[in-house]
Amino acid sequence: MHIARKTLGTALVFATVAVVLLYAVLPLGSFFDQRAALAEDRQALENLEISNELLVEQIDGMQTREQIEILARRDFNLVYPGQEAYAILPAPPPAVSLPSAWPFWRVAEALED
């Protein structure tokens, strides 16, 4: 009976240690995952702050009437009343010139129709 008590006591100690380790070790994986996610989020936040600073600088540069006029004319083709806006279209693509040898003569006939 003494051996059964000793075995039961040892089993209880191992079970207790196993439960404590289970609750102590399993959250460590989650902890490291959260640290990695936090580092990524901090980097993303830093990138966004830099972008915001650049946008604020652009906004500050666009506060003059002259700069607004330049952007309106260039980006939106806007003009003052009484002015006319002209658009220069790109040149048409060059005509296709195909050899008169087989099989190109059939393609040339199809293009002419």
Q: Over the stretch 49-89, which tens digit does the pLDDT of each residue have?
A: 999 999 999 888 888 889 889 989 989 989 999 999 888 89
CA dist 99 and 109 (Å) reads 12
Strand ranges inside 15-89, DSSP E: none
- At residue 90, φ and ψ (nearest 5 deg) are -70, 155
| Rounded mean pLDDT, 12-20 | 83
pTM of the model: 0.43
Q: Is the pLDDT of residue 105 over 90?
A: no
Residue 101 lies in a domain: no
- Our count of domains for the chain comes to 1
Residue 91 backbone phi and psi in degrees, to 5: -65, 145
Range of the domain at 57: 2-89
Give domain status of residue 110, yes or no: no
User: For the chain, what is the radius of gyration of the CA atoms?
Assistant: 38
- Tell me, yes or no, whether 100 lies in a domain: no
Give pLDDT, residue 48.
96
Structural domain includes residue 95: no
* 105 in a structural domain: no
Q: Is residue 94 part of a domain?
A: no
Report residue 43 as tokens.
């980097």
Decide if 104 is inside a domain: no
